[in-house]
Amino acid sequence: MTARRRAVVVVCDSLAADLVRPDTAPSLSAMRAQSADFVAARSVFPSTTRTSSASMATGCLPGAHGLLGNTMVLKEDGRLVRMSVGKPDFLDRLRRATGQTLRRPTWAERLADHGGAIVMSNVSPGAAYLQDPDSFGHVYHRSGSRGPGGELLDDGLPIEVGAAGDAAMTERFCREVLRERAPALAVLWLSEPDHTAHHTALGSPEHLAMIAHADACVQQVRSTVDALDPDGEEILLVVCSDHGMETVGRQIDLDELLLATGWKNSPQSSDVVVAPNGNAALLYFADSKRVDIPPLAQWLQDQDFAGRVVWGDALAELGLPTDGPLGIALALRHDTAANPHGVRGRSVSVLSPFSNSSLPGCGQHGGLGAHEQQPFLYLRGGGLRPGERGQPASLIDIAPTVLHHLGVAADGMQGRVLR
């Protein structure tokens, strides 16, 4: 690795590409004009933050790295158990159930002997720790901060989710991480506008204020990077979102529907287990119930809430595994209807036992809707010329691009280097 080369990655959680405009996000709009703008960038499926975090960190699709949603089902004591990936103890349970965390190495692991990685994140603990689940570098989060080897850090991140916490984290990131410690990779993951959009209407004054807030955080990072690397050759700056959002048109209780129609035996049974993921759901099956997968998939496809229903070998088309207890992937029905604030994109959403956010009229993500699948992705510096890029691009392309800039091998990654 060239001694002075570095990469800085900033993620504005849930900010769709079409909401980056001069009136909503002037700094991001200015950066777009100065950067390689990958206009065809897409998220992964499910388009959830925790899945996105693992995909960005490993450069691989969910079927390869094994983290399949904000909600997952693991086998514990012979039973399929649904759990939130966002909880601080999830990685310990995943390790006990499968013998590992992610199935592919992260960029933090690959950079452990090449300048290291420091992550500061204000999203859920699960999403934050998935950047470096086995503690090869440093991860700072309000639920606890860890250094190499899992060492608990005294200088944690005592902030709250939301705008004030993002602002405090950004100031510290610029001062301490970028200016003083200068790791090979520095990642800043903002909680806004996602945190607010789950509780309000997309395009509302409250939502637009949080886009402006995230934009100001990006400007602070840009200014710091410009001061450290005036020629723009040594620091590759990546500014992106993990996915966008759709307006929730209605919610369905998929567990209740399966019970009422006889596909599930009882509320406590683990024969068929639904993992709700916003505008998507993954259905897991005990071995004795896998015979029900084809007829249940057809029943789901016939329902008015269904968009795309995928099962069997076709799961690989969505980047999902075709082995193990996962049986069906359901992307909910979506359309291009505009909400009262003129923001297009509407979807059905699945009720979750782990969250009371994203009621009808609010923002949600997870599925295959055009707006939730359209993050923005700007790369500046590192010899990249500015301008639009029309080639396909994905979250899984970010890590190999970063590693290429740093001169570190990206073997085994499914993504490719963006140029």
**Domain 6-245+371-406 homologous superfamily, CATH:** Alkaline Phosphatase, subunit A (3.40.720.10)
Domain boundaries, the chain: 6-245+371-406, 247-364
**Domain 247-364 homologous superfamily, CATH:** Domain 2, Phosphonoacetate Hydrolase (3.30.1360.110)
Q: Are strands 387-389 and 393-394 parallel, antiparallel or unpaired?
A: unpaired
Model confidence at 17: pLDDT above 80: yes
User: CA-to-CA distance for 37 and 31, rounded, in angstroms?
Assistant: 9
**pLDDT on residue 355:** 87
DSSP E strand stretches across 40-86: 41-42, 71-76, 79-84
User: CA-to-CA distance for 191 and 163, rounded, in angstroms?
Assistant: 8
Q: Which residue has the tokens 């994203």?
A: 358
Phi-psi region of 276 (alpha: psi -120 to 50; beta: other; left: phi over 0): beta
Per-residue pLDDT tens digits for 331-356:
999 999 999 999 999 999 999 999 88
Q: What is the mean pLDDT of the chain?
A: 96
Model confidence at 2: pLDDT above 50: no
Q: At 155, is the pLDDT very low, low, confident or very high (cuts 50, 70, 90)?
A: confident
Model confidence at 111: pLDDT above 70: yes
> Tokens representing 134?
């086995």
How many residues make up the chain in this entry? 419
pTM for the complete prediction? 0.96
> Tokens representing 112?
């452990």
Q: Are strands 6-12 and 185-190 parallel, antiparallel or unpaired?
A: parallel
Identity of the residue numbered 291: V
The radius of gyration of the chain from alpha carbons, rounded to an integer in Å, stands at: 20
Model confidence at 1: pLDDT above 60: no
N- to C-terminal Cα separation, the chain? 19
